[in-house]
Amino acid sequence: MKKRIYRHFLALLFLIPLAMMAFKVRFLNYSLERTLSHTSYQIRLNYRFTEAADSAWLRIALPTSEERQTIRSEANQSSGYDLLIQRGKTGRYATWSGPAGANEALAYSFEFIGYANRYNLDSNLTVPDLVPESLNDFLRTYPVEALPEVEDNRLVPLLGSYFEAARDTQDAVLQFVNWVRHAGLPARFAGGFNLEQGEHEYRNWAEVMINNTWIPFDPAFGHFAQIPAGYMKINNSAFPEARHHGNRPFENWVEVKQRTTINPQLLAELPVLDYNAFAVWAAFEQAGIPIDILKVILLLPLGALVVVLFRNVIGISTFGIFLPALIAMASRETGLGYGIVAFLLVIGVVSLIYVPLERWGMLSVPKITIMLVSVVSIFILVSVLGVKAGLPNLAYIALFPIVVVTVSAERFAKTLTQDGFATAFKLTLQTLLVAAAAFTVMSSSTVESLFLTFPELFLIIIGLNLILGRWVGLRFTELFRFNWIVR
């Protein structure tokens, strides 16, 4: 009777998620691409006059929402100034005016979400003979000595030749735009920065009018008829247009905060349902809890599955059963490299302290307490020294689940004294190996998106854990261990 109930339970663990997933894909139009979590950037443009004056005005260019970028949650972060936002020929502009003391700061914040775009250009297109008058501005050239050589003067190969030639020049975008205009194609500058690459300085790329669409080109970075998601376009001019009255000096800087959010395009299309991943997600967002916590909850069973696989099927033993999954989890904050460093650091500290404490004959609980305090102290020390030495990432090891690692490190020390260094070292390597495997699985963005889209998958993970937990075959390493029987 128990076995039948178990079998039915197991079947449900697989069928329910599959049914839910099928339903979502078929009737709610879910698909992996369309529900990929998206990066959004919280941006704050800052300006500060460094000298006092009677009055001041400042004009800056603001990015605008278009098909491939969404600008929202805009806010003026400065008070005591009048702010006027206008549309101009080349973009949107914000103008502040008012009295200005020295060190008065002006700021504007907004959220940017960008999408990558890739255009397939028909290679048979030709350069048009006639260009509408409205585009005359975009044909203005300055003189050149010679245009780059072009073998095939159809539109796409021509652009290709100019693109490649421009890449070798000092001011690639400028050259490209100029040559393209010489060839009779309207071209204009686009300006902004690539947030994905952490750029904060305004720079330009190009747009060429082809078949009534402005197609992006960035010869400086090799993007031909395509634009990456992280490019935030601010305006269509060669200048960011931050102008100030009387040429008074000012400072400007940009603050950027990255976060993961739901693809807004998809959110707009979804019907409102009570039980879907996004309702959960939205609830977390509303409560101000970072999405990362939800990810941890969903992905930890997967990490545990990896550990079970390595232990029960392959036969690689580790310190503690969940420790590798927890190391992997903590490494998501610090990066796997620092995760391993932190773990080894804890083990080293604990071993140094364990040996004398053991000789003294200390009882377990006070022993662990002393080691815990030492580990915490070392972590703080390393974090502080790391920041001072210019390695701020080292501070991330403080995010490690210290208590768990300390307890397992105590076990390492025990193995060290009882079974010798070789055994303890081997177990450490095995633990780190499994942790790295768990990390690879858990940090894959495809896996992440999969689980955020279909959180019911974690029922399947539980089912797999159940099956593996009862599997009684020989472990892979045992095939070697018991080779002696047949020899």
Partner 1 sequence: MQRDVVGINFRNHVLVHENNPGKHHFLANDKAVCKTVLHKHHIPTPETYALVRGMNDIPKALKAIRDKEAVAIKPASGSGGSGILILKNEGDGTWSKPSGKILNERHLTWHLANILYGMFSKGESDQAIIEYCLKPHPFFENIYSQGVPDFRIIMLGDQRVMAMLRMPTAESDGKANLHAGAIGIGVDLETGELKTGFDGKQRLNRHPDSAVRFAGLILPEWEKTLRVAQETARLFPLAYLGIDIVFDAVFGPMVIEINIRPGISIQNVNREGLKAAIGRLEEEKSEKKKRWQ
Q: Which residue in this structure is represented by tokens 């040559």?
A: 179
64 vs 317, beta carbon nearer partner 1: 317
258 vs 477, beta carbon nearer partner 1: 477
Among 92, 154, 259, 475, binds partner 1 (CB under 8 A): 475
How many angstroms separate the CA atoms of 408 and 430, rounded? Answer: 14
- Angstrom CA distances, 106 to 13, 41, 102, 128, 461, stand at 56, 20, 12, 46, 51
- Build a one-symbol-per-residue string for 281-320: x at contacts with partner 1 by CB under 8 A, - elsewhere: -------------------------------x--x-----
Among 363, 389, 390, 446, binds partner 1 (CB under 8 A): 363
Q: How far is the CB of 308 from partner 1 (least distance, A)?
A: 11
Query: Nearest to residue 148, comparing CAs of 125, 122, 182?
Result: 182
Q: Which residue in this structure is represented by tokens 């029987």?
A: 485
251 vs 478, beta carbon nearer partner 1: 478
CB atoms within 10 A of CB 60: 21
Amino acid at the residue 96: W
Query: Is residue 157 at the binding interface for partner 1, with CB under 8 A as the rule?
Result: no
Query: Nearest to residue 295, comparing CAs of 440, 453, 437, 460?
Result: 453
List all residues 6 or more positions away from 67 whose beta carbon is below 8 Å from its beta carbon. Answer: 117
**Alpha-helical regions (H) of 389-456:** 402-443, 445-453
Query: Is residue 426 at the binding interface for partner 1, with CB under 8 A as the rule?
Result: no
Query: Is residue 117 at the binding interface for partner 1, with CB under 8 A as the rule?
Result: no
Whether the CB-CB separation of 397 and 338 falls below 8 Å is answered with yes
Q: In this structure, what token pair is assigned to residue 33?
A: 């691409």
Query: Is residue 481 at the binding interface for partner 1, with CB under 8 A as the rule?
Result: yes
Which segment (4-12, 222-230, 278-286, 464-472) binds partner 1 by CB under 8 A?
464-472
Q: How many residues bind partner 1 (CB under 8 A)?
A: 21
Query: Is residue 364 at the binding interface for partner 1, with CB under 8 A as the rule?
Result: yes
Alpha-carbon dihedral angle through residues 5, 8, 14, 19, given to the nearest 10 degrees: -130
Q: How far is the CB of 283 from partner 1 (least distance, A)?
A: 40
Which segment (60-68, 202-210, 273-281, 465-473) binds partner 1 by CB under 8 A?
465-473
Query: Is residue 355 at the binding interface for partner 1, with CB under 8 A as the rule?
Result: no
Query: Nearest to residue 339, comparing CAs of 261, 440, 190?
Result: 440
How many angstroms separate the CA atoms of 422 and 113, rounded? Answer: 52
Query: Is residue 5 at the binding interface for partner 1, with CB under 8 A as the rule?
Result: no
Among 135, 352, 419, 433, binds partner 1 (CB under 8 A): 419
Q: How far is the CB of 45 from partner 1 (least distance, A)?
A: 58
Q: Which residue in this structure is represented by tokens 């499994």?
A: 434
Which segment (2-10, 127-135, 285-293, 362-370) binds partner 1 by CB under 8 A?
362-370
How many angstroms separate the CA atoms of 413 and 247, rounded? Answer: 67
Query: Is residue 352 at the binding interface for partner 1, with CB under 8 A as the rule?
Result: no
Q: How far is the CB of 473 from partner 1 (least distance, A)?
A: 6
**Alpha-helical regions (H) of 242-290:** 264-269, 277-287
142 vs 484, beta carbon nearer partner 1: 484
3-state secondary structure of 216: strand
Amino acid at the residue 168: D
Whether the CB-CB separation of 191 and 240 falls below 8 Å is answered with yes
Whether the CB-CB separation of 203 and 221 falls below 8 Å is answered with no
Which segment (113-121, 137-145, 233-241, 359-367) binds partner 1 by CB under 8 A?
359-367
46 vs 430, beta carbon nearer partner 1: 430
Query: Is residue 369 at the binding interface for partner 1, with CB under 8 A as the rule?
Result: no
Among 130, 365, 389, 422, binds partner 1 (CB under 8 A): 365
Query: Is residue 471 at the binding interface for partner 1, with CB under 8 A as the rule?
Result: yes
Which segment (24-32, 94-102, 377-385, 478-486) binds partner 1 by CB under 8 A?
478-486
| Residue ranges in contact with partner 1 by CB under 8 A | 312, 315, 361, 363-365, 418-419, 470-475, 478-479, 481-482, 484-486
